[in-house]
A and B are shown apart, each in its own frame.
Chain A
Amino acid sequence: MALQAEEAVRNGTAEGHGLVLAGVTKRFADFTAVDDLSLTVPAGSFFALLGPSGCGKTTTLRMVAGLEQPTSGTIGIGGRDVTALPPYRRQVNTVFQSYALFPHMSVLDNVAFGLKQRRVRDARAQAKAALAMVELEHLGARKPAQLSGGQQQRVALARALVNRPAVLLLDEPLGALDMKLRRQMQVELKAIQTEVGLTFIHVTHDQEEAMTMADTVAVMNQGRVEQMGPPRQLYELPRTAFVANFLGRSNLMRGRVAEDLGQGLGVDVAGTRVVLPKARATEHHGSVVVGVRPEKVRIQRMDAPFTATANQLAGTVVDASFTGVSTEYLVDIPGVGLMGTFSQNLGQDPASPGEKVRLLWEPDYSFGLAGGEDTGAGGVRP
């Protein structure tokens, strides 16, 4: 895919590609911040880059913006190879993690800056409209230092958006906002993106934000993309333990493939047979890791009737916490460890710590990872 994309960029046939990174690597001295990164973002789509701190998200954006030169690889924007272009020649704007507002200019002048460089006629009027969009039209005359952190962040957003670039890079643009404003800006951003058809590359720590807003989510770890795809696919079928844990939570169990069932695999997990669809497993032999999302797991008292086709593990409730809409449980399964689940509050009596329970889930909800995966990668186990 990387080669194809590279070819397309070189031949100028990458029309419709908003952004193409082909084999992009960035090394700082002996430290590799971005490692052979290849991705294609279709024009007009909302792409979210999700990953832990220090995984190379900002570095990736800086290379796209032209502020950092890749050690190797090519970058194409709108079908043109821009790897060698300086930042000011790229149809790209950035909402910087540090805002980087010009302290000597008024808020309005900050927003109009990009338009003025390109000698757009009604720069001030457009800047005012952009400020109105982020609900700061009344603060246009102030200096950035006279704004709150959240207001500064919105100015940074307006300053980049007003240019309607081919690709807009957002480096945690909503990080400093409170929940309400954050939701509001998310809706606003998504609306602008859809309306104007800009390509958004959105870096965030907030997985919920990434999943609700993006068409495609890429989960990054240590300079590499672990997995990339539509949010739903990424969530339902993680391919690595890191993704399974970083995006939402997962119960991961070590086991051995004991039997081939045609469509599925019979996996031996701590002495219990668990079924895993072949199509959802990366490995079909030897040791594997079986995963299931907590909300897919039902919890039952030992004496309750159950369907024999479901995967099931028995254990003891360690912790039950009532959150209102649901009760969250931690269940200790001998030989597996702690598993998490929650049950919607339908008025039933919750199980209490110490009680023996059965955990059940449909085989189709299981996913299989390579046996060598570190089940603790990407987060704490529930």
Chain B
Amino acid sequence: MTAAPGLRGRHDAGRGRAPEGGPNPEEAAADKKRGRIGQLLVLPGFTFLLLFFAAPVVVLLAMSLYTKAPGAEIGQFEPALQFSNYAVVLREYWDVLVRSFAFALAATLAALLIGYPMAYLVAVRLRAHRLLQGILLVLLIAPFFSSFILRTQAWKQILADEGPVVGVLRALAVLPEDGRLTATAFAVVCGLTYNFLPFMTLPIYASLERLDTRLLEASGDLYASPMRTFRQVTLPLSMPGVFAGTLLTFIPASGDYVNAALLGNNRDTTMIGQVIDSRFFRVVDYPGAAALSFILMVAILVLVMAYIRRFGARNLF
């Protein structure tokens, strides 16, 4: 069977393999075209980020270096390179920053401990019961159907000193007579955990949902007890979900101010989000608030980068 040379050349190009003698111009053109389409596809997202992320960050950065002119009115600042703004707010709010991350970490761990078994139950144990699985999934997402602030406000009522929970706990002597639930670090961490729980549970659910249960059988067949099977097969295979869930919980939790404001006591439960809020809107210290925002952002970025480097998705598979 002999093909005409022209025919063969075209056939090769169609297969994406360049004939000998350098790249085929047709193919180079096709590559270029593919590249252009790619560029067009990222354009909307890129523009969006440029407008709504990069620009504000630049403004924020500039504002964090503003200075108050002598004799200026409250809220009047002028452009400058006042780097000491950072030192001032860091010195003043270091404790709050550390506390914010500690609370976020505690909430992330609590959400993991609560969310993982829930996700496991729904995704693996109830796999054969489609209906029940669906109902539980809806219940997992149900909190999203009502407003975040409303829910937190409701918790404030439930956990209030005159509320039913505190009353019962006091009667049962779990809490001392003057013990309370709101206005404590515990309450704030609980609120954070509750509010960000779906962000933890759903990614874990998604990765457990894809878990091939035949692997669990193989593990059992190879002498691993259910406990060891969980540690060596189930958990590693769900790590991408755990990884995503912890990030999705930790990042918003460390910048949150609603839980601390509603469930905390504004003295030893203050979180950095509250401080930024009051710097901006009450004290009207724009450079200080901007500097704090920037510090928070960089701190989260550094922590997350360290986390990714240590447990990044690339190392999981």
Contact = CB atoms under 8 A, between A and B. Distances in A.
Interface string A113-150: 11001100000000000000000000000010000000
Given A67-B217, A100-B218, A88 B224 contact: yes
A367 interface: no
Interface stretch (A37-45, A90-98, A178-186): A90-98
A113 B221 contact: no
Contacts, number: 62
A67 B236 contact: no
Interface in A39-88: 65-67, 86-88
Interface string B205-244: 0000000101101111111111010001100110000000
Interface residues of B, number: 20
Contact of A87 (B214, B215, B217, B316): B217
A102 B223 contact: no
A86 B220 contact: yes
A128 B224 CA distance: 20
A100 B215 contact: yes
A337 interface: no
A101 B224 CA distance: 14
A101 B212 CA distance: 10
A59 to B, nearest CB: 13
Contacts of A66: 220-221
Contacts of B219: 102, 113
* Chain A, interface SS category: loop
Contacts of A118: 223
A104 B237 contact: yes
A112 to B, nearest CB: 10
A94 B224 CA distance: 14
Q: For the side of the interface on A, what is the size category?
A: 20 to 34
B223 A163 contact: yes
A88 B214 contact: no
Given A102-B233, A103-B317, A117-B228, A87 B212 contact: no
B194 to A, nearest CB: 32
A26 interface: no
A100 B224 CA distance: 15
A284 interface: no
Given A98-B214, A102-B215, A104-B317, A92 B221 contact: yes
B152 to A, nearest CB: 39
B224 A117 contact: yes
Interface of B: 212, 214-215, 217-226, 228, 232-233, 236-237, 316-317
A-B CB proximity, top 6 nearest: A100-B218, A114-B222, A117-B223, A87-B220, A100-B214, A117-B224
Given A67-B221, A113-B219, 17 more contacts: A65-B221, A67-B220, A88-B221, A92-B221, A94-B221, A96-B218, A100-B215, A100-B217, A100-B218, A102-B215, A102-B233, A103-B317, A114-B222, A117-B224, A143-B317, A160-B222, A163-B222
